[in-house]
């Protein structure tokens, strides 16, 4: 008689749940048997078993302490099998750096769901973080005890409303960006950005739209904050010994209540840029034991610090660079010498201190940009609001529309969350732009579920109409789009990266003719294509030491661009399988060139065809992986035409003029490659 096979578990879904148990879990595999057996989480049996078959079990998780647990299936004959992947019992936060929890921050990020909190225990974490979902990432013990060390973009944030709090962050190569924010409404709070000359960053924080940068320390960076986007709030920070503290490239941000030490000519901005360099409203503060109400600017240690009336505000304005307005209320001393009471409004319109708001993870309520209110007492703040010195909250407020985009033909079911919608719909209507919703699934005081109406492509405001009056729903906008997303003047997006951020998998981003100055990061399968080809569509690196286009996902297409300006990096770098790079021109002249043209690293089944690579300082096309097709490309005026490293590839009909192809061992022409070329051409072997 043959011996029966033990149960084999192939998949667990979901792979995490509450420590309180009660999560319904589907276990798929083989050899479970037709009669019910048992399911264990470590040594604890499942609370109940809902169904059992030869290939699938549905059970309810038991109460369990937080951390990873091994799921074991035991059939009716007492044969058992364990799951390769563990199940995670989580509390309100996912933990990193302690036994039986995640040991890598990125591992926790990958495991997390939208809105989760990740708490990191003390330690040095050598990794790069990519945050592509809304998360609250915080350290357990603050920046002094918790360090993140990485390269290039150390913490890359591409999800709105995310929080980074309580870390020391620096580059292992001293030439990278500490935190790169690539979406809106993110908060960077209480971090140490750069430490010493050996532990620093090229750029401390590169901002997104409406970024809040609060109570951080910036030291020894080349640039502390690269203010790339509008409507940011920079407050409560200390800057010292940076080559440049703030480099302001856009308007409408508020920069107040900061300390700048050793800052002579270290605050810079583009010409015609204007931001606000003091608090937007008068603030109550205590200085040397006395209370004052006044606007508050920033402390500049080399400024004339005379203070005749002893109120902590200097007698003279501070002159900033270029067209920036003067700071009219510079501080006499560093910000630690002042006591302020900062207030904000959470999503139920209760007034909290700012520290309480952070601890409760409440949502900030904003009017056009991040706002912080400060008064001596809560009653003073209520009085300030009642006098309409700042806008009063409206009757109907929503904080989110999910999903935030859908087809122009309408019919997408959306969930609108907020307050004061009313218990019943009555005569109220939701409007997308000017178009009313006709199909509602549910309506309550805090949530509305409805189907979007048809509308032309583009962003629209979401508003509510009651008794003939229309009121905008704060922070709620919706993007109508189909599979084609257009970039260019008078199009849906003027910025390629912004279009990619909003694209869904397998969308096409079609770029109109023009010159675009940016660095592109692609983390999803999309087609990035110019409408008119590389002759009229040019991409110039905004940051010359970063790749112009970096592909971090499989099944991506790059088609029809002239690409230059990466004098310290690559025109196109691909780290994803099954991608197509075609019809591009990488390098155009001795002035418009790159260090390298196209680079395929650890990626297979890619097609590189019909590209022109020229005038690049080093190599036109570099391949450090196998099973790629490189065909019908033209390479000239590069140091090396095509460079192949430790790989088996097919290289057919490429025209490499006046430059070598470099084969680097192990590789033989006879066994691994088919090559055709036009003379003159030299081939060099490296052993």
Q: Compute the average pLDDT of residues 636-660.
A: 70
Where does the pLDDT of residue 291 fall: very low under 50, low under 70, confident under 90, or very high at 90 and above? Answer: confident
pLDDT at 471: 55
Q: How many CB atoms lie within 10 A of CB 236?
A: 21
What three-state secondary structure class fits 556? coil
Give the Cα separation of 284 and 261 in Å (integer). 24
Q: Is the pLDDT of residue 280 over 60?
A: yes
More confident residue, 513 or 78: 513
Torsion sign, CA atoms 288, 294, 300, 306: negative
Q: Where do you find CATH 2.60.40.10 in the chain?
A: 8-89, 397-480
129-143, 272-286, 316-330: range with lowest mean pLDDT: 272-286
Where does the pLDDT of residue 442 fall: very low under 50, low under 70, confident under 90, or very high at 90 and above? Answer: confident
pLDDT at 383: 44
Which pLDDT tens digit goes with each residue over 194-221?
A: 999 899 999 999 998 888 898 999 999 9
Q: Evaluate whether the domain defined by 92-277 bears CATH number 1.10.3720.10.
A: no
pLDDT at 650: 63
If one looks up domain 484-686 in CATH, what number appears? 2.160.20.10
Give the Cα separation of 246 and 227 in Å (integer). 7
pLDDT at 6: 81
Give the Cα separation of 453 and 474 in Å (integer). 20
Give the Cα separation of 481 and 408 in Å (integer). 6
Most confident stretch, 50-59, 263-272, 441-450: 50-59
161-165, 279-283, 383-387: range with lowest mean pLDDT: 383-387
142-146, 195-199, 391-395: range with lowest mean pLDDT: 391-395
Give the Cα separation of 142 and 165 in Å (integer). 8
Nearest to 130 by CA among 155, 160, 166, 100: 155
Model's pTM, two decimal places? 0.48
Q: Is the pLDDT of residue 503 over 80?
A: yes
Nearest to 399 by CA among 666, 185, 107, 158: 185
| 680 cis-preceded (ω within 30 degrees of 0) | yes
Fold of 397-480: Immunoglobulin-like (2.60.40)
Q: Evaluate whether the domain defined by 8-89 bears CATH number 2.60.40.10.
A: yes
Q: Is the pLDDT of residue 87 over 90?
A: no
Q: Where do you find CATH 2.160.20.10 in the chain?
A: 92-277, 484-686
Q: Is the pLDDT of residue 379 over 80?
A: no
- Structural contact between residues 229 and 250, judged by C-beta atoms closer than 8 angstroms: yes
Q: Is the pLDDT of residue 534 over 90?
A: yes
Which pLDDT tens digit goes with each residue over 542-581?
A: 999 999 999 988 888 999 999 999 999 999 999 888 788 9
For residue 160, give both structure tokens.
């709105």
Give the Cα separation of 142 and 158 in Å (integer). 23
């Amino acid at each position: 008689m043959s011996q029966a096979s033990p149960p084999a578990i192939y998949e667990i879904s979901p792979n995490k749940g509450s420590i309180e148990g009660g999560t319904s879990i589907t276990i798929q595999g083989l050899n479970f048997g037709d009669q019910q057996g048992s399911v264990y989480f470590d040594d604890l049996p499942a609370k109940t078993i809902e169904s059992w078959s030869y290939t699938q079990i549905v059970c309810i998780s038991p109460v369990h302490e937080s951390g990873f647990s091994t799921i074991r299936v035991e059939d009716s004959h007492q044969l058992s099998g364990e799951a390769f992947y563990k199940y995670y019992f989580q509390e309100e936060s996912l933990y990193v750096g302690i036994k039986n929890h995640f040991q890598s921050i990125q591992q926790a990020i990958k495991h997390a769901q939208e809105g989760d909190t990740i708490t990191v225990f003390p330690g040095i974490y050598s990794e790069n973080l990519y945050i592509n979902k809304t998360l609250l990432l915080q350290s357990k013990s603050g920046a002094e005890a918790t360090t993140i060390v990485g390269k290039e973009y150390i913490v890359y944030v591409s999800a709105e409303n995310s929080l980074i709090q309580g870390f020391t962050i620096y580059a292992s190569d001293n030439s990278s960006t500490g935190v790169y924010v690539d979406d809106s409404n993110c908060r960077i709070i209480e971090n140490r950005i750069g430490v010493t000359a050996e532990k620093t960053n090229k750029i401390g924080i590169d901002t997104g739209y409406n970024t809040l940068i609060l109570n951080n320390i910036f030291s020894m960076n080349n640039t502390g904050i690269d203010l790339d986007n509008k409507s940011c709030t920079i407050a409560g920070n200390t800057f010292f010994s940076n080559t440049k503290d703030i480099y302001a490239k856009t308007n409408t941000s508020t920069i107040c209540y900061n300390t700048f030490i050793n800052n002579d000519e270290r605050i810079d901005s583009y010409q015609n840029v204007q931001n606000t360099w003091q608090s937007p409203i008068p603030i109550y503060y205590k200085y040397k034991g006395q209370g004052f109400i006044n606007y508050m600017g920033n402390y500049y240690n080399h400024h004339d610090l005379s203070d005749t009336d002893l109120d902590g505000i200097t007698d003279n304005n501070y002159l900033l660079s270029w067209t920036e307005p003067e700071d009219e209320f510079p501080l006499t001393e560093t910000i630690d010498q002042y006591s302020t009471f900062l207030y904000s409004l959470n999503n139920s319109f209760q007034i909290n201190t700012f520290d309480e708001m952070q601890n409760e993870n409440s949502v900030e309520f904003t009017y056009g940009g991040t706002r912080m209110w400060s008064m001596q007492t809560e009653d003073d703040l209520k009085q300030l609001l009642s006098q309409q010195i700042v806008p009063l909250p409206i009757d109907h407020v929503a904080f989110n529309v999910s999903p935030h985009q859908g087809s122009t033909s309408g019919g997408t079911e959306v969930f609108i969350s907020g307050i004061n919608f009313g218990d019943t719909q009555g005569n109220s209507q939701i409007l997308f732009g000017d178009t009313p919703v006709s199909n509602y699934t549910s309506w309550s005081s805090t949530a509305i579920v409805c189907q979007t109406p048809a509308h032309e492509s583009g962003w629209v405001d979401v508003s509510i109409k009651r008794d003939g009056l229309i009121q905008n729903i704060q922070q709620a906008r919706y993007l109508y789009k189909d599979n084609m997303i257009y970039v260019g003047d008078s199009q849906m997006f003027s910025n390629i990266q912004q279009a990619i951020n909003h694209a869904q998998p397998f969308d096409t981003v079609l770029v109109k003719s023009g010159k675009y100055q940016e660095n592109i990061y692609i983390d999803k399968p999309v087609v990035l294509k110019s409408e008119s080809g590389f002759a009229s569509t040019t991409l110039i690196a905004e940051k010359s030491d970063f790749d112009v286009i970096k592909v971090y996902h499989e099944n991506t297409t790059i088609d029809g661009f002239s690409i230059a300006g990466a004098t310290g990096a690559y025109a196109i770098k691909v780290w994803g399988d099954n991608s197509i790079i075609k019809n591009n021109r990488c390098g155009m002249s001795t002035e418009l060139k790159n260090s390298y043209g196209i680079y395929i690293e650890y990626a297979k089944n890619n097609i590189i065809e019909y590209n022109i690579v020229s005038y690049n300082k080093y190599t036109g096309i570099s391949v450090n992986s196998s099973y790629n097709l490189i065909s019908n490309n033209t390479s000239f005026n590069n140091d090396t035409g095509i460079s192949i490293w430790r790989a088996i590839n097919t290289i057919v009909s490429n025209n490499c003029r006046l430059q070598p192809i470099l084969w680097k061992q192990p590789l033989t022409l006879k066994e691994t490659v088919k090559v055709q070329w036009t003379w003159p051409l030299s081939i060099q072997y490296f052993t």
